[in-house]
Chain A
Amino acid sequence: MSDQIIEKLKTIIEPYLDEIEIDDIAPSSHLIDDLGLDSFYVIDVVIDIENEFDIAIDNESISKFETVEQVISIIQEKLDEK
C-alpha cells in the first residue's frame, strides 16, 4: 500500500513544484525547505489528500506535515482507522 500512497502523493504534490523534479523527491524531503512549497500550498496538499484518500486530516496531524515520509505515515494511519 505504501508504494501506492507514494505514487498518489507525488501526483498530488507535482503541480506545486517550480524548481524540483518530481523524481527527485525522497522520503526525507521536507515539504517547505526542500520542495519549496509555500505554507499555504501545504493546506492545498492536505485538502487534495483528503479528497484522494477519502480521509479527514485533523489539525494535530497537519502540524506533523513536514517530510514526505511523515505525510505517508499520517495517511497510512488515517486509512487504518477507517
Chain B
Amino acid sequence: MNKRVVITGLGVVSPNGTGVTNFLNALKEGRSGIKWDKDLADLKFQCQVSARPEIDDQKLKELLPAGLFIKLENEAMKYSCLSGAEAWLDAGLSFTPKDEHPDWEDGVIFGVGALAMDEFIGGKFEILQTGNPRKIGSRVVEQTMNSGAVTYLNKIIGFGNLVTANSSACATGTEALIMGYDRIKSGKAKRMLCGSTESQGVFIWSGFEALRILCSDSNEYPEQASRPMSANSTGFVPGTGSGALVLEELESALERGAPIYGEMVAGEIVNGGQRNGGSITASNPVATQRAITTALDTAGISGSDIDLICGHLTSTIGDTREIESWVQALGVEKDQFPMINAIKSMIGHCLGGSGSIEMVAAALQLHHGFAHTNINIDNLHPEIVSLIGEKPIISTTTNAPIEYLIKASLGFGDVNSCIVLKKWTADE
C-alpha cells in the first residue's frame, strides 16, 4: 500500500499565539512571544528570558473530566490536550462518545522531550524528601510518564489505533509527523493525530543554562534575544508549547470533504550516528544533508522546486552549519536560493514542542500562500551571507504562492529530520 497523505487539521499552543487563528496572525505580524522571566532571574540564570504561551484554563476544563482537570499540574499536558483537541475538531472530526467503542481506525502519536522535570522535582520531590511518599498524590505516575500527555489527550478523543509518545529531543515533533505519515501510507491507520509538547521551568531549562547555550545578553530586550542566522547570536531562548496536526489518507479526506491544508509528500529521518563531526549535541552535516536529499527524492523533486525553507535555525553557532547543509543538499545557485525563515526568532526554541509548532506554521504558510518574516536579522552572520546572500532571508512577511515547502528539525542525539509539503489543489 502506498496511500497519499494530507493535512486536514491544525492546533497550536505557541508562545506568540494560542489557537490557530491567533497564531496565523502572529506569524504574519512577526509577533514575538519572548518575555523577561522572573523565575530565571531569581535563580541567577544568565539567561533571564523565555517564551511561554498563554492558555485558557476554562477551555481545558470543558475538555477534561472534572477529576482529571482539578489535579492537572503539568503544563505540557495542558498544552497537548488543547492543541490536540483543537486540531481534531479543526479537521471536522468529533470525540468518541463515552460509552461507544473507541475509534479503531485512527490513532495519535504525541511526543515529548521531558514531560515533568519541574512539576515533579519542584513540588512532589520536596514532599517525598520529608519521608511522606504517600502524600505525593495519586497523579505522579500518569503526569510524569512520557505517554502522560498523549494519555490525557486520548481521554478526550477516544482513539483505538496506535496511541503513543515518541521522543527525539528537539526533533520530536517532526518525528511524530513522520511516524504518523508512515503509518497511514502503509494502510495501518486512516488518520493520525501527530504532535508534540514540552514542559517549562527552571529545572528543565537549567541544564541548557549549564551547557552555556542559552541567550545571555538580552535580558533587557527580550524580544531581541532570539537572533537566528546572526553574527551576534549568543544562544537560544528557552520556550515551551505544543503543536498538533491531523494527517489523513487522501481518499478519506476527499470523501468527507475535509479541509486540506496541504499534502505531505516526504518525511525522512536520518541519524548521524554521532560520527564525522556529529555528537550528542551537534548534527553530523552529512546526515543533515542526507535527510534533505532523501526527502527531495521521496517527493520526486529537486532543490530548485522548493519555494520556502522553514529552518531549524536556533540562534546558536549551529545556524551557519545548518545553512551550509541546505546549500549542499539543495544544490541550487546562490541567486536561486529559496526564501528561508526561522520562526524561532519569534518564539525561541520550544525544544520537544518545537517541531510540531513549526510544522503548524509551515502548513499555514503553504495553505495561505505566504512566508512569515524573520525578526532580529539586522546583523546577519557574514558566512551565511556569503553562502546564500541576504535576499532569501526575508525581512518582511511575503505573500507568494508556495508550491513546495521544506522543513527540517535537528535534535540532540544527532537526529536529522526533514519533511516536504506540497500545496494542495483540488483539481488534481
Q: Which of A's residues lie within 8 Å of B, judged by CB?
A: 15-18, 37-38, 40-41, 43-44, 47, 50
**Is the C-beta of B389 less than 8 angstroms from some C-beta in chain A?**
no
> Which chain B residues numbered 138 to 157 have a C-beta less than 8 Å away from chain A?
138-139
Identity of the chain A residue whose Cβ is nearest the Cβ of B135 in the assembled complex: A47
Can you report 15 residue pairs joining A to B where beta carbons are below 8 Å apart? A15-B70, A16-B66, A16-B67, A16-B70, A17-B66, A17-B67, A18-B65, A18-B67, A37-B67, A38-B67, A40-B139, A44-B138, A47-B135, A47-B137, A47-B138
Query: When the two chains form their complex, are residues A40 and B138 in contact, meaning their CB atoms are under 8 A apart?
Result: yes
Q: Which of B's residues lie within 8 Å of A, judged by CB?
A: 65-67, 70-71, 134-135, 137-139
Known: A16-B70, A18-B67, A40-B138. 20 other contacts (CB 8 A): A15-B66, A15-B67, A15-B70, A17-B67, A18-B65, A18-B66, A37-B67, A38-B67, A40-B139, A41-B138, A43-B138, A44-B67, A44-B71, A44-B137, A44-B138, A44-B139, A47-B134, A47-B137, A47-B138, A50-B135
Q: Across the interface, which residues of B come within 8 angstroms of A37, CB to CB?
A: 67
Q: Across the interface, which residues of B come within 8 angstroms of A43, CB to CB?
A: 138
Identity of the chain A residue whose Cβ is nearest the Cβ of B138 in the assembled complex: A43
In the complex, the number of residue pairs spanning A and B with C-beta atoms less than 8 Å apart equals 28
Q: Considering the chains assembled together, what is the distance between the CA atoms of A50 and B134 in angstroms?
A: 11
Q: How close is A55's CB to chain B, nearest CB, in angstroms?
A: 13
Q: Considering the chains assembled together, what is the distance between the CA atoms of A18 and B68 in angstroms?
A: 10
Q: Considering the chains assembled together, what is the distance between the CA atoms of A45 and B138 in angstroms?
A: 10
Q: Considering the chains assembled together, what is the distance between the CA atoms of A47 and B70 in angstroms?
A: 14
Q: Considering the chains assembled together, what is the distance between the CA atoms of A18 and B139 in angstroms?
A: 18
Identity of the chain B residue whose Cβ is nearest the Cβ of A51 in the assembled complex: B135
Q: Across the interface, which residues of A come within 8 angstroms of B138, CB to CB?
A: 40-41, 43-44, 47
> Would you list the 7 A-B pairs with minimal beta carbon distance, nearest first?
A43-B138, A16-B67, A41-B67, A15-B70, A40-B138, A44-B138, A18-B66
Q: Across the interface, which residues of B come within 8 angstroms of A41, CB to CB?
A: 67, 138
Q: Across the interface, which residues of B come within 8 angstroms of A15, CB to CB?
A: 66-67, 70
Q: Across the interface, which residues of A come within 8 angstroms of B135, CB to CB?
A: 47, 50
Q: Considering the chains assembled together, what is the distance between the CA atoms of A43 and B139 in angstroms?
A: 10
Identity of the chain B residue whose Cβ is nearest the Cβ of A40 in the assembled complex: B138
Q: How close is A39's CB to chain B, nearest CB, in angstroms?
A: 9
